[in-house]
Chain A
């Protein structure tokens, strides 16, 4: 009887896992001993890091999307119906169209989304660039901005922890290029007592912000936004006036995770080494879906995927799961419109940003173009 692996979610993690597994277990697939399914609620796959460039008119929508079917190995079955329930006791994934997929192993790759509605007034008063339509709206605001106060606020949890820094550096450069930098007061806020969760990155920001004229306020956790007064108030009791409020909203995981009782706010309790759901033997969790206190980023999902695929393959063939995730993450950090640095770290080795350079910036731009090889399991 054939084995079935169901991947719930067609983002970067889910797509890599399905494709790598199809490649590694080609013989089993051909013999009908293995079936791989991907469940996704949308036909398009979006390269989310590209939105940062959309904000400045440097990327167009068509450059950031591909048909999920075209990215997937032909031997992987794609179900374009949202999962409405995951029953881990019966090993079943229920789809909205009524279909029930019985699995031997399930991979939860449902991701997370900005949830500005979690903070009073934020959805109405804030602008964010983590979703395409919202990004375009902010782009128009910035293009029409003649000067005034911009405040950047950050909710918890959020994905891509370096993006708030990147957008700050890039906006500084962009306003300078437009000749209006002296008319813009830019304030970057952060939830804890330094400028970034990663201490070396916080030091890097503290050293470089003065040169960019970026003001900052730490220990700032949004409590509410007053749209009429154009103010944002923190839990810590500070109130800032703004003309444009740029926010990284707090994020929530997928509703199906909450509805299935698999994790609060849609984030699944996960073993940080095996990447299995805590207390479960046949449920793997990848990327933004985990509750792990590490970066919610595409690169995290990418490196986790390699481990999950090796373990699934080994488990199906030998009944063993010997591979362990070491917490590896790699992120580029744009430090303006023409320079960048990068960080690489894991559970035991902290990051150390290198001196920004044009070369790293161009490397990042190149990766933006070749990203599509990543979900295909090639890069």
Chain B
């Protein structure tokens, strides 16, 4: 295995290149700018398309156009830029064509800051753009996983004619870790039977998200929903640690998940039987896993870098089978392992309750901080 030391953002860019990405369109924004810079050198070197667009809005619409040709295409941005892209995201979803989007989240709302955050979970997992649609959302927690999931993102996007988002926070984009790059895939030379390639020796094709006739729009919505059921049935991914004999469970994705891993190990060293679930697909969400886990354990701790956006999903899925507690740092602060360890100790010590809302209890505890 040949490992090289890669910065997260650069690694994602190279992985996309190797996955056969033929066109990249983007706009500079911290903390994902290295990805755009890497592509600006790498894509022309390989004779592939690179455009630094005038805005994220233009970038996503360039992606939209390129995606209509059935080629592998991507963009990347960070929270405020992704907000601007939501128009194109909805149109691409409505046109049922594949594209890959990398969102390196930063602190918000508004201009916020450039530090790592996970506060766009709801925007990406539960919507963002207008209309009924689902995005496939992959949440890596390391540089190697960012590489692997970027390649997977292109495959899944194509397989389900969907946008696939690689959702990470700024710290994974900025950190360096050893990673092994995937093999080079050749650029595609054949195009899918829906792509616009010029109407040579065939009927003309037309790609749009417009269905002025409501029954037709309903049919399109149902078609997308049935395709989504396939995604739900086939593509759920997650990782568990120390769960076999666990009486308590921590749930966190991306950076929160790996911070929690350090805390879980420390808690285990203290004799606390705690395990970790790290969802990798945030959409579709590993619901069955959470449901079973809630039946197994005496208490769940959800750790996020947002105010409890995934927490609401966990509560909905756990259905009161186990008490849920919550811990988060906001505004661009990454929780440290010792903070999470304290929370695990508190969880193990009890008493736990099904009453009230975990966010309220966490906020009360945070009261001493601010």
Instruction: Say whether A associates with B.
Output: no
Which residues from chain A sit less than 8 Å from chain B, CB to CB?
none
